[in-house]
Structure 1
Amino acid sequence: MSFTIVYVGGGMLDKVRSVTRLESGRLDAPYMPLLTIPYVKGRYIEVPGQLTTVTDTFSLAIETELLSIAFGANKYQARDYLNVYVGDTKIIDTLYTKELPEGINLIVAHPIPANTPIKLEFVNAGGAAKTVWFNYQFLRGA
């Protein structure tokens, strides 16, 4: 018994190079991360009981790839929202809070050079005092 495979050149398969990307057994970055060691950075902010924006900025001294961000609060209000920036690039824009903690999977591994500022802005549009916790899930090298 035998069979034949016919590949018609051109078209979408050539444009996305799917066959060559999988020859090594994995997809190319950013669809598959290059770094391999999990690293989670937890942060929190205290938000005063007033209409305000609270900003938290930090950086890491190592190269990383950002995979996801999770956040929760001890009080949720429908008008509250947050923004997240990596360097000058806004990667989360006006994400409104819900009645439970939330995780945001970024779909691809976002490479972040060492010492790049990561900034979260929490807009307290509801005006109630609260604590907001958030975790950044990264990968780092050895």
Structure 2
Amino acid sequence: MTTVSTDQVASIRAVLAGDVGTFDRITGRLSSEERDARGVLVAAAFAEAAHRRFAKAADPSAAVIQFVSDLRAQHPLTGDFDQHTAERLLLATFTDESISDVPDETKGSYYMLLLAGIVKVVGLSEAQLDAFLEDARKLADEWLAADAS
């Protein structure tokens, strides 16, 4: 059974801390299977962060729309960033919003970008970030175990 490794967690932590060099070094050591498991970790961390940040808002949809708008205003995003797709991915973590039409590669890119945005806005301490990533790791391990069954 595949589980999330310390290196995979460290690589995501590096991205969230803005340390691209460490991310690249760790990524260079990961096998294809390990990179896939790291993708599951990113999805789990994204889902956990989005749910914590927006699910209990008085108006979750409005909070998501405002967050994505603020993210775009503070960090001009280039390329094919689509605000509506970002909003749908966030809402899908705690609603019945279908995202089956969004390609996996797009989901992965948006998950990481939005995760980084949420972590930055929330302003987690080092200890809080470690605890958050450990929760995400446990969730990812559950998903990987279920997928292996």
* Larger relative helix fraction: 2
Short-chain TM bin = under 0.3
* TM-score, normalization by structure 1: 0.25
- Higher Cα Rg, which structure: 1
* TM-score, normalization by structure 2: 0.25
